[in-house]
Amino acid sequence: MKPPKEVITRIEKLRKVIDEHRYNYHVMNFSSISEEALDSLKKELLDLEEQYPKLVTPDSPTQRVAGEPLPSFQKIRHKVPQWSFNDAFSEDDMRDFDGRVKRFLMQQGITENPTYTCELKIDGLKIVLEYQNGILVTGATRGNGEIGEDVTINVRTIESVPLRLSKNVDIVVEGEAYMSKSQFDNLNKSQVKNEEEVYMNPRNLTAGTIRQLDPRIVAARKLSSFIYDLASFEGNIPLKQDEELKFLSELGFRVNSHFKICKTIDDVIEYWKLWQHKKEQEDYQIDGVVVKVTERAFQDALGYTGKAPRWGIAFKFPAEQVTTVVEDIALQVGRTGVITPVAHLKPVLVYGSIVSRATLHNEDEIFRLGVRVGDTIILQKAGDVIPDIVEVLTKLRTGKEKVFHMPKMCPECESLLSKKTIGSKGTEQSAALYCNNDRCPAKDRRRFYHFTSKHAFDIEHLGPKNLDLLLDKGLIATFADIFTLKKGDLLTLPRFAEKSVDNMLAAIEKSRTVGLDRFIVGLSIPQVGEETAEDLAKTFGTIKKLREVSEETLSQMKGVGPIIAKSVVEWFSDSHNRKIVDDLLSAVKIESSELRNAGSKFSNKIFVLTGSLSTMSRDEAKSKIKLLGGSVSSSVSSKTSYVVVGENPGEKFIEAQKLGVPILSEAEFADLLQL
């Protein structure tokens, strides 16, 4: 049915008006119409397009959320290489940068001093957008700089990203997707209300959201964006960085307005200092200032190093510090028996995360800081690093603060504690308290946490909370009991629906077959970590041979030595521990390393990991490689089989390129794991 002319006109006008109000709200930051009225206009447009589907266009506002969830993201090769800036952390670093820029320009015969454009460094996820004839055609993640993930369907849900530009141009632009602080807070309030885990910080949530396979979830989380770079353009490229930003704004992109032209490096430093104090006023996370040479001619003369532009640098802010109060100091008993004091803090937002705990490590650290219960302290957190108490503000004491004394007895089993010195002569030494009771319930519980962790049996859906519930209800008392759990047992527990029970039982069943190295790790033998467990598995091949080996034989093994040898032999000599192994062997199957690696494409392959991986942790990637028979190295050499490159890769990426070592993006690595 041919649509009436008045319908065509109405649809065109609706699109124009809706896009105008979208631009005002999401780009210019003011409301020109109520949200309810705008929703009403969108509903009318959607109804008309459903009635006349041939009139739907790619840039229609209704196309921001469409389609079913994707099975996976496709890889996309960038038309323009995606560089990352080098970092500066101090004023001296910036003066060195200024000196390098001027020296290099002098070598090119340029005597004129450059100016610098300072832009706020938004803490989000880089996105690369391509437009053809003014229409958005692709949106991608940075990936390894050459190949990213095609996340177009999700980018289209970001209201501040125009689907059509104000000019019909072919262009590639770069920017940052992010989640506002207020939106992050709203989502966490909803999580708390629904009794679900809160999200850690806006940056991580943004990265996870952009990679959601369901665009409806992405739309509901309401991401925002800033565009800051014109990567490719067939027309006349602006001659200065500030003019480029203005041109991007004219095209309809949301550009951060707080950029500034600085004539000298001293002006740059002043701008950096100013925004250290002002950053909290904005509704987005700022983790530094990006400094670029303003003049494009100078940028072209400066060019690039192997990994970054010479004409720009990221001037990072210092580690974020906040003040809070120590409400209590509690003791945590680890699986090896070490007693760790943990400060319970008045919850505080630091570097985008709500923090309520900080380890005090040991008695020496408490003494060094002089921390008391009730003290006001300075808490420091940089990126994803565990927060540290760096100082006690003693002048704020009221006299009611309580001095904390380490106990003489274990807080869980009341066994007498012993003190051991950690560290050797010539290194920093500290004293740690240990519970020597092998039947301490707290140690047992920690061992269960370790047993099901990714480093050991890797049982999904069986983390500390669920383990606590199973232990408290008496459904498990030994590791082997995990493999005897039945559906009827679990359905009686609170919060356990049929689907979650099925998922857990499936994960337990999957973990019944385990490599010998992971089996050894899961036993929590003192002094035996992942690397030692791998060595033991390769050397002995079976658990039977390992449990019967002599201390003398073990101590002569490379990478073991007398301390580990003594610990292993003593552990297997204990009748209780031998029963743990026997019970486990009746419930699980150990896959020998020889059998597991036979015919594997990873057999004898050496992998090196660099950059941040988004779909798995570094430890998970290492575990998957080792599970398939490969090994992981910390350095690149001619013997390296593959270098897996995540976001913001380091020198290993450059070294791999120089040596011609095959490079895998995260998506390519994931594909290799599945084959």
> Do 528 and 515 meet the contact criterion of CB atoms below 8 Å apart?
no
Strands (E), 179-303: 224-233, 260-262, 286-293
The distance between the two most distant Cα atoms of the chain, rounded to a whole number of Å, is 93
CA-to-CA distance for 432 and 409, rounded, in angstroms? 13
CA-to-CA distance for 447 and 580, rounded, in angstroms? 12
What is the identity of the amino acid at 62? T
Phi and psi torsions of 588, nearest 5°: -125, 165
CB-CB neighbours of 166 under 10 Å: 13
- Reported as half-sphere exposure (CB side, CA atoms, 13 A), residue 348 has a value of 23
Q: Which residue from 354, 131, 396, 398 is spatially nearest to 253, judged by alpha carbons?
A: 131
CA-to-CA distance for 379 and 358, rounded, in angstroms? 9
205 is written with which tokens? 């949530």
Q: Which residue from 341, 351, 472 is spatially nearest to 417, judged by alpha carbons?
A: 341
CA-to-CA distance for 41 and 26, rounded, in angstroms? 17
CA-to-CA distance for 168 and 302, rounded, in angstroms? 32
335 is written with which tokens? 């699986």
Whole-Å CA distances, 144 to 84, 125, 153, 651, 665: 10, 13, 21, 13, 6
Active-site residue identified among 43, 102, 121, 624: 121
Query: Residue 121 catalytic?
Result: yes
- Give the DSSP letter string of 489-538: HHHTSTT--HHHHHHHHHHHHHTTEEEHHHHHHHTT-TT--HHHHHHHHH
Strands (E), 384-502: 388-392, 402-403, 417-422, 430-435
Catalytic residues: 121
